[in-house]
Amino acid sequence: MSSERSSLRCRVGGLDLRSPIIAASGTWPHDPSFWRGELTAGLGAICTKGITRNRREGNRGIRLWETPCGLLNSIGLQNSGVEAFISGELPEIGSRDVSLIANVAVEDLPSLAEVLKLLASVKDQIDAVELNISCPNVDEGGIAWGSNPESTAKAVACARSLWGGPLWVKLTPHACDIVKVATSAQECGADALVVANTWLGMAIDVESEKPVFDRVVAGLSGPAVFPLALRLVWEVARCVSIPVIGCGGIAEARDVVAMLFAGASAVEMGTALFLDLNLPAKFTLILKEYMQRHGYASTEEMVGVASHAGGI
């Protein structure tokens, strides 16, 4: 089979993607020059930074801390607020050549409703909403919404009632039972599930003899969490009927293949982009060569192959 006949196009959670690789929230510049041209080659979509009702300055103190195999971050949902996003940032990236997924961070239900009503007024410019019920870097809302099936149901039901387009839900790896949380999100109207967000960690500065971050804990991403994320994708994909998007520690093209084989229909990558924004384009070339060598005509044929081949 010619590699030209291996297609990366796929349909995931109500969205047609030219590639199964997506830039995760908070990892891609909002500068419009980054939303078109060669830099977007290999990307199926880009997630925006987390959007909240009002402007947030983000967390104080140190925000990033490298670990031997990852990155701790404590950004804290810094963003300009939904109205500034609609009036300022969205028009600037309007001529993009890649799909836009608006990451909406859940603080409380009234604020969520206001954000979604405002986004609905520009729905033609937004391809999907990614409901973020998993941010570990804020004191209120965030990860608490995705920690159990009951609070997840409230957030997803609220979003579903106000947003008629594709609705993806980004889960936390710290849910008490992520399969039950995933099932709850599906039952309340999610079109796809992103599995998952960063893992809570911390660092201590041995010179100052105190925690590095003002909030003590921060979100760990990077290659260190890939095996953990892969396991969650495997567990969730076997228990839901909607697409799963694998997210966590993807740093090589073979990680994309592994996520697909575990049951993901697409992947989100983030930390690796800080090293090279051209990785998606490089990965797609390797992925197409792999597909040709193994006789896959589409990535959809690869979804869940590992479980079909003798998994549990």
Report the catalytic residues: 135
Task: Kindly report the number of other CB atoms within 10 A of residue 224's CB atom.
Answer: 18
DSSP states of 144-180: GGGSSHHHHHHHHHHHHHH--S-EEEE--TT-SSHHH
Greatest pairwise CA separation for the chain in angstroms = 59
Residues 6+ apart with CB under 8 A from 281: 38, 41, 42
Task: Tell me the CA distances in angstroms from 204 to 38, 67, 179, 227, one per residue in order.
Answer: 40, 11, 33, 24
Alpha carbons 173 and 165: distance in angstroms, whole number: 26
Alpha carbons 163 and 289: distance in angstroms, whole number: 38
Residues 6+ apart with CB under 8 A from 252: 283
Residues 52, 81: contact at Cβ < 8 Å? yes
